[in-house]
Amino acid sequence: MKFAWLCILFPFIGVLCIPFLAKINPRIRNAGAVFFPCLSALSSLMLMPYLFNPESLPMESSYIWLSSPFVIEFGVLVDPLSIILANVVAVISFLITVYSLGYMKGDPGITRFWILVNLFIGSMLLLVLSNNLLFLFVGWKLVGLCSYGLIGHYYRDEEKYWIGGPPPTKFVTPTHCGLKALIVTSAGDLIMLGGFLIVFYYSGTLNLMQLYQTSSQWIPEMAKTPGIIVLVSILLLAGPIGKSAQFPLHEWLPEAMAGPGPVSALIHAATMVKSGVYLVARLIPLFYYGYWVSGSGEAAAFFIITAWVGAITAFVAATQGAVALELKKALAFSTVSQIGYMWIGLGMSGFSQSLLVSGTTSGIFHLVSHAVFKACLFLCAGSVIHAAHSIYMNQMGAMRKYMKLTWIFMTIAALCLMGIPPLPGFWSKDAIILSTLEAHSIPIFTIAVITVMLTSFYTTRFIGMVFYGPESEQVKHVQEKEGHIHEAYKTMWGACGVLSVIIIVFGIIGPRIEHLIASAFRSNLIGSINLPISEGAAHPADYRLLVTVLSLSAVLMGAIPAFILYILKKGDPSEILKKSSFLQIIHQFFWRRWFIDGFYYTAFVRGTEKLADIVAHTLEDGWDTVIHHKLPDIITRRSYNILIRLRTETDDLLYNLAYILIIFIGLIAVIFFTFL
């Protein structure tokens, strides 16, 4: 258990040490900034043997933090889910810090960057290893705060760091992007907190294992109030929907690409966006018990919402990725889409008693494979953008001539994203699609297969636009200005190379990894938590073979047109678009992101601004006119002073009331629905 504690503590120690190391020497600071995540990664790896012997799990170690009026502990929980997530976070984060040594070289804000990165890693590990919902929520909020700081790293908003465009599409600044991420995710967090409080009201505990063990007592009690379990399902899923950038709170992630390349890989490929997937997986035993053991039909809402949110997000984000011009933004849309796949797998775990283990396994297996290949893609993208001095794919082209290693590493990761066998993306993606077929959820199965086609299209497209075809004017300009475009620093391509090797190794042993994860979850969910399952019925045909055929067919249907257009250059996509008004409409619809982002800005941003104008210029100015100009003419000076004092006290009172309402609106809603 000591390694679980050390895994969390080392990055926090790094946060405290980095400012002092910076005053000694920049090289020592950089070494320390990488050293502590390295120790954390080694500590997480020391937990891996338990995964091969899941019978000894779960294990807890805790200290009493609050003993009155109820007991709250600060502790760690080591079980298959936390071990897998801790290794994903710690190991990949360490590789990203190594990459950052070259990428962030010479950056004036590098000390702040290292502090936030180490704080982020520690917070994420606190989130996945905490044994109770309270400290999970502490890590959850710290992760969001660090994300805000890292996305807005270039807070001076210099024009070269703007993203968006090209004109007439608007540009957005890094500070705007960071604030957007903070607000959208915090909205989901506040709603989720309401769900935590309702669960605590009925169960009397926030400890995860106690919630599982006492579910037979408090879940039936909760089910006595009609609608409460559906409400709790919605509240608890709101936080993961925001953090994992799922529909309808998915629009913050593309703008989060304003941060440096390592930030995109760290937060938006390997770690932060996985926190929502982790929490959904952590909550599965509670709602599975409620539906399949306690008999509450309302508990099925948790799995239905999870699966459909994942399916809608996977498709919507894939269509947006198919038309994106910014390289990192195309990868961001891909991340949103692939996390949607994970949600589909986790949602399927409650559709049938025979799918509890396989559904959970498929979602978490895809989380692991996605963390590796998407981190590699983002790091390679950072190297390419660094070399081309442009964020746009149509301003690149022929980059493989100058960056052969990056081309090889990025192609391997791209093939994994497409689901080409025997890379791990093939095994994990097909496991999810198989679970939808076994659950007889044909609509979600159809969406998942169509999304495979879109994924292979946009993946082939960005590889072709970046590495193939003629050199763009931008590349020629960089060549003339700098003399030669070359590979990135050794630490940068070295980290990408390590991730590529991991992808290949994971692909070779993919079925064994899937079996290992399934065995661990079977032991935990059935053996430790005592959830009942049933063996699946015999199928009239081999579902796995059918899924493989359909999946590979979808890959080819998407990849072949993109290969012809963007790699062989047998046609001009812009000319094809000009000749078809229908394609232009579809392209604009996807380019404008289904008008979802525009709707949010119109309804919430501009709507709030207009409301503020009305309040400031109509109500307040009118109030001032009445008080300061009209009333003094008809009442005595003494009465006037009384009114002024009354107005000031009223304003202060209203301000304080508004502030209290904003802060505690979640709590008020919880109390209302609890006693309804």
Cβ atoms of 322 and 316 closer than 8 Å? no
- pLDDT at site 624: 60
Burial class (CB in 10 A: 0-12, 13-18, 19+), 229: buried
Cis preceding-peptide flag for 37 (omega within 30 of 0): no
Q: What proportion of the chain, given as a percentage, has pLDDT over 90?
A: 63
pLDDT tier, 541 (very low <50, low <70, confident <90, very high otherwise): low
User: Lowest-confidence range among 12-21, 474-483, 549-558?
Assistant: 474-483
Q: Percent of the chain beyond pLDDT 70?
A: 89
Which of 124-133, 144-153, 320-329, 482-491 has the least mean pLDDT? 482-491
- The candidate with the shortest Cα–Cα distance to 153, out of 170, 178, 172, is 178
pLDDT at 676: 44
List, for residues 631-658, the tens digit of each pLDDT value.
Answer: 455 545 555 455 455 455 444 544 444 4
Where does the pLDDT of residue 540 fall: very low under 50, low under 70, confident under 90, or very high at 90 and above?
low
Express each pLDDT in 307-327 by its tens digit. Answer: 999 999 999 999 999 999 999
* pLDDT band, residue 671 (cuts 50/70/90): very low
CA neighbor of 555 nearest in space, from 423, 444, 370, 440: 423
Q: Following DSSP, what letter does each residue of 436-470 receive, concatenated? A: HHHTT-HHHHHHHHHHHHHHHHHHHHHHHHHHSSS
Q: What is the mean pLDDT of residues 586-593?
A: 91
| pLDDT tens digits along 211-240 | 999 999 999 999 999 999 999 999 999 999
pLDDT in tens, 41-85: 999 999 999 999 888 889 998 888 877 777 778 899 999 999 999
Cis peptide before 470 (omega within 30 of 0): no
Long-range contacts at 510-515 (CB < 8 A, ≥ 24 apart): 510/369, 510/422, 510/423, 510/424, 510/426, 510/427, 510/428, 511/427, 513/365, 513/368, 513/424, 513/427, 514/361, 514/365, 514/427, 514/428, 514/431
- Residue 72, strand partner residues: 66
Where do runs of H (alpha helix) occur along 25-105?
26-45, 48-52, 80-103
Confidence of residue 266 (pLDDT cuts 50, 70, 90): confident
pLDDT of residue 241: 95
| Average pLDDT over every residue of 156-177 | 88
CB atoms within 10 A of CB 227: 11
For 372, the token pair is 């590796």
- pTM for this entry: 0.89
Q: What is the pLDDT of residue 599?
A: 85
Q: Which DSSP symbol is given to 539?
A: P
Cα(109)–Cα(96) distance, integer angstroms: 17
Q: Which residues contact 193 (CB under 8 A, 6 or more apart)?
A: 137, 239, 666
The CA–CA distances, whole Å, from 413 to 162, 317, 395, 500 equal 27, 19, 22, 7
Tokens at 505, concatenated: 């190794």
CA pair distance 92, 20, nearest whole angstrom: 26
**In which residue are the tokens 């608890």 written?**
236
Q: CA torsion sign, 149 to 151 to 157 to 161?
A: positive
Whether 605 has a pLDDT exceeding 80, the answer reads no
CA distance 83 to 37: 16
The amino acid sitting at 96 is: I
Integer Cα distance of 90 and 128 in angstroms? 11
Which tens digit of pLDDT belongs to each residue from 546-574?
999 999 999 999 999 999 999 998 888 88
Q: What is the pLDDT of residue 674?
A: 42
For residue 256, is pLDDT > 90? no
Residue-wise pLDDT tens digits, 353-400: 989 999 999 999 999 999 999 999 999 999 999 888 899 999 998 899
Distance CA(254)–CA(490), nearest Å, equals 28
Across all residues in the chain, what is the average pLDDT?
A: 87
Rounded distance between C-alpha atoms, residue 593 and residue 389, angstroms: 26
* 597-612 average pLDDT score: 78
DSSP tag of 130: B
